[in-house]
Amino acid sequence: MSAKASYSFEGKTILITGGAGDIGRATAHRFASDRANIVLLDLNAAKMADVAQELAQYKVSVATFSCDVTSSDDVNKAFASAIEQFGRIDYVFNNAGYQGLFTTTDEYPEDDFQKVLDINVAGVFHVLKAAAQHMRESGGAIANTASYAGVVGPPNMLAYAASKFAVIGMTQTAAKDLAPYGIRVNAISPALIGPGMMWTRQTELQAAVGSQYFSSNPKQVEQQMIDSVPMRRLGSLEEVANGVAFLMSDEASYITGFNLEITGGQ
Ligand SMILES: NC(=O)c1ccc[n+]([C@@H]2O[C@H](COP(=O)([O-])OP(=O)(O)OC[C@H]3O[C@@H](n4cnc5c(N)ncnc54)[C@H](O)[C@@H]3O)[C@@H](O)[C@H]2O)c1
């Protein structure tokens, strides 16, 4: 579907949060195929172990750490262990996230609103801070996973939109704060990506809300969503990973504070 530019990440190490999920896994494959060592962090230890096993084919070093990004303690411990094992971390893909419930603003539950902010905002902050403290000495590159929902607020996704707008804001501020240390900070904002868990979940849950914006039939919701983006198809997980590889690569050496949209358009 898309040509793969070849970057050499030989001798470099990338830490990926949400490394057991669809986008984290695809990005781990992409970087391992370009010779990077891989550090995966996720809540889901069993799925992370499966990804680590898949990565064995590339013959790079791979480590996994069970970690809840909502806990700064967990994040700091995982960073310390990874640094002890690999010496340094060159790239951080700050990607763990949760989509939240789908319902209208007047009905949005407070506990789920808080959960989304804890994972997508505080979690991203903890990882960003740990990465920045480590990279202050030798520079590096960070990519935060935002979303097209952080550019245009979609219906029925109040908490998710709030959290992803926040990720883009943190990206812009961190890019300015960390530039003096030679640390670049960018965001990546996937729109409709699939097949995958989030794509299936969002079409089913948007249909279930029964709002004026989408059909109540998930198959029709899929078509409505696809018809709203310029390329008139889903983006693949590999196309997201390719964007991350570009943002980390030396070709992007003057790019910071940028939000790479893949590909919105409503
Ligand atoms: N797939 C899409 O269509 C899409 C579109 C836009 C943005 N995104 C964003 O991309 C990122 C990755 O999503 P995905 O599609 O791979 O989803 P996914 O659900 O497959 O992966 C998310 C991963 O994050 C992990 N996670 C959740 N909470 C955590 C926590 N507290 N600590 C550590 N790990 C935690 C999960 O265990 C999971 O492995 C998310 O930030 C998501 O919001 C996805």
Give 189-208 pLDDT, tens digit per residue: 999 999 999 999 999 999 99
Cα(238) to ligand 1 centroid in Å equals 15
pTM, entire model: 0.98
Q: Given this model, what pLDDT does residue 208 score?
A: 98
Which residue ranges have their beta carbon within 6 Å of ligand 1? 17-18, 20-24, 42-44, 67-70, 95-99, 119, 123, 145, 147, 190, 193, 196-199
pLDDT exceeds 60 at position 266: no
**Gyration radius of the chain over CA positions:** 18
Count of CB atoms situated within 10 Å of the CB of 239: 17
pLDDT cut 70: percent of the chain above it: 98
Residue with tokens 């830490």: 15
pLDDT exceeds 80 at position 3: no
Q: Whole-number mean pLDDT of the chain?
A: 96
Give 167-188 pLDDT, tens digit per residue: 999 999 999 999 999 999 999 9
Give 119-146 pLDDT, tens digit per residue: 999 999 999 999 999 999 999 999 999 9
Label residue 265 by pLDDT band (50, 70, 90).
low
Among 15, 17, 23, 188, the mutation site with the greatest number of ligand 1 atoms within 8 A of its Cβ is: 23
The CA distance from 34 to 239, in Å, is 15
Burial class of residue 218 in the structure, from the number of CB atoms within 10 Å of its CB (0-12 exposed, 13-18 middle, 19+ buried): middle
Domain borders along the chain are 13-191+237-261, 193-234
CATH of 13-191+237-261, one of 3.40.50.970, 1.10.260.40, 3.40.50.720, 2.60.40.1150: 3.40.50.720
Residue with tokens 């060592």: 37
Which residue puts its alpha carbon closest to atom 21 of ligand 1? Answer: 21
Q: Given this model, what pLDDT does residue 263 score?
A: 87
The CA distance from 18 to 124, in Å, is 11
Q: Specify which residues 262 forms β-bridges with.
A: 190
Label residue 6 by pLDDT band (50, 70, 90).
confident
What is the maximum span of the chain, computed from C-alpha positions, in angstroms? Answer: 53
Give 33-76 pLDDT, tens digit per residue: 999 999 999 999 999 999 999 999 999 999 999 999 999 999 99
Instruction: Give Cβ neighbours of residue 141 (< 8 Å, ≥ 6 apart).
Output: 90, 91, 92, 183, 184, 185, 186, 247, 248, 252
Q: Given this model, what pLDDT does residue 222 score?
A: 96
